[in-house]
Amino acid sequence: MTDNPRDVKEFWDEKYASFNVNEEVEGDLDLANQNINLKGKRVLIVAVGTGKEVVKAARAGAQVYGIDISSNAVRNAQEMLIANLLSGTMVVGDAAKTSFDTNFFDVIWGSSVLHHLDHEKYAKELDRILKDDGAAIFVDEATFFNPLFKYTYEKLFGKGRVGRRRKRWIFKRRGDDFEKPIEEADLTNYEGQFVIESIPCKFMFFEKIAHVVFPGNGKMYALVGRIDSFLHYLLPSIKKYSYEYNFIFTKKKKVDN
Ligand SMILES: C[S@@+](CC[C@H](N)C(=O)[O-])C[C@H]1O[C@@H](n2cnc3c(N)ncnc32)[C@H](O)[C@@H]1O
């Protein structure tokens, strides 16, 4: 967590203050092409956000649990489950420090949340609560794997996790004060206990810049996104510099002495 965890909680409580509990939830949980049947599995949704992913997991027949630092997000998720005639166990807290039992979950799933967590602490917590034959799936995670993006971002807003600028010239940084796109160095925290598969999502560079320059302008994102698609078409190998990645964590086999 941050030096001042209340900042992060307040930031997200404000975001999730109003919410339409009756909003239609469509589609399945994005398992990043992993062949996993959630029926009967104990599944933890890390950062329940709007609650939609909790509903998707419960609909797939999972025994669903959820955690979020924001009490509004947790309330929304609970109400959304009820509105969809489903059930689950939702708790407020830091995902990197939970009170779940050891070796408890078959699947731990999150979207756009890993880059919010304290990796040193979370690596230990993930290892503790995930079963030895379980899998943790994190989708649509922001990364700094594109050095040009990392350079531009850090020039505008500053380095590290704490004390960065919110605004420079016309550029605004969105998000809470602790989140930071994932770097290779962050993943080393997990490499002792886990095998990590890193899968780039669609190539996004100029579209990400558009998110900063034209916040909330979906039409502009789509327009600029075409440049990214064209670049990727010309040079397929640039996909490794995608902004978003999916990560699959499985536990390394323990060696008996
Ligand atoms: C970018 S949102 C993603 C939410 C949701 N997964 C989605 O895709 O809509 C980040 C989420 O992480 C939660 N969060 C931030 N730090 C957290 C922490 N340390 N522990 C648990 N949840 C956290 C926020 O409250 C928020 O719901």
Average pLDDT (193-203) is: 97
Task: Say what the pTM is.
Answer: 0.95
Identify whether 67 is part of a domain.
yes
Rounded to a whole number of angstroms, the distance between the first and last alpha carbons of the chain is 36
**H/E/C letters for each residue in 217-257?**
CHHHHHHHHHHHHHHHHHCHHHHHHCCEEEEEEEECCCCCC
pLDDT confidence band for 5 (50 / 70 / 90): low
* Bridge partner residues of 250 (DSSP): 135, 195
Q: Per residue in 125-144, pLDDT tens? A: 999 999 999 999 999 999 99
Q: Strand locations in 56-166, DSSP E?
A: 63-68, 89-92, 105-111, 130-142
Segment 45-54, tens digit of pLDDT: 999 999 999 9
What's the confidence (pLDDT) of residue 215?
Answer: 85
Q: How many domains does the chain have?
A: 1
| pLDDT (tens digit per residue) in 31-76 | 999 999 999 999 999 999 999 999 999 999 999 999 999 999 999 9
Would 149 be classed as within a structural domain?
no
Atom 4 (ligand 1) nearest CA = 49
User: Is there an atom of ligand 1 within 6 Å of 70 CB?
Assistant: yes
* CB of residue 248 inside a 6 A radius of ligand 1: no
Question: Which residue has its alpha carbon closest to ligand 1 atom 6?
Answer: 111
Domain annotation covers residue 33: yes
CA 70 to the chain's CA centroid: 15
Looking up residue 33, the CATH number of its domain turns out to be 3.40.50.150
In-domain check, residue 213: no
> pLDDT higher for 10 or 172?
10
Is a pLDDT exceeding 80 seen at residue 255? no
> What is the mean pLDDT of the segment spanning 140-150?
96
Interatomic CA distance for residues 218 and 174, integer angstroms? 16
Domain containing residue 105: 5-144+179-201+244-251
Report CA(37)–ligand 1 centroid distance (Å). 25
Q: How far is CA 160 from CA 119, 176, 205, in A?
A: 13, 13, 21
Check if 139 has its Cβ closer than 6 Å to any atom of ligand 1. Answer: no
Instruction: Read off the pLDDT of residues 216-246 as tens digits, 9 standing for 90 and up.
Output: 899 999 999 999 999 999 999 999 999 999 9
- Verify whether ligand 1 is closer than 6 Å to residue 141 (CB atom): no
| In-domain check, residue 158 | no
- Expressed in angstroms and rounded, the spacing between residue 179 Cα and the centre of ligand 1 is 10
Separation between Cα atoms, residue 4 and residue 47, nearest integer Å: 19
SS3 158: coil
pLDDT, position 162? 80
Q: State both tokens at 4.
A: 């001042």
Residue 47 in contact with ligand 1 by CB distance below 6 A: yes
Any domain includes 156: no
CA separation for the pair 156, 152 (Å, rounded): 6
Mean pLDDT across 167-191: 93
Residue 69 Cα to ligand 1 midpoint, Å, equals: 7
Task: Report how far ligand 1's centroid is from the alpha carbon of 35 (Å).
Answer: 25
Residue type (1 letter), 55 = V
Whether 215 is covered by a domain: the verdict is no
